[in-house]
Amino acid sequence: MDDPVLIDARGFLCPLPVLRLRKVLANQPVGRRVRLLATDQMTVVDVPHFCDQAGHAIIAVKETGDGVHEFVVERGLSAPSTAGGLTPEDI
């Protein structure tokens, strides 16, 4: 399997990390994994909520010890893709 796409959202406040995650996932095929790095403490709440609502799977969550939260998210079936004509702006 390919390495996950990396989103470095360190230093960004919510909702920006989740919005970046949504945009990247919308352009990935089902099953593709994305790795998100974020320093905003609210991502611990917002990323799982977004994934639950959008049909994505959280594969791993960990704190790296330097205030960075790392999420590995797999694109789910129910999430719209750009192949269907939708863009992230439509979501």
Question: What amino acid is encoded at 7 in this protein?
Answer: I
Residue 51 falls in the annotated catalytic set: no
Helix (H) or strand (E) holding 18: helix 16-26
Which of 14, 16, 59, 61 is catalytic? The answer is 14
Outline where DSSP puts E strands in 1-91: 5-9, 33-38, 57-63, 69-74
The catalytic residues are 14
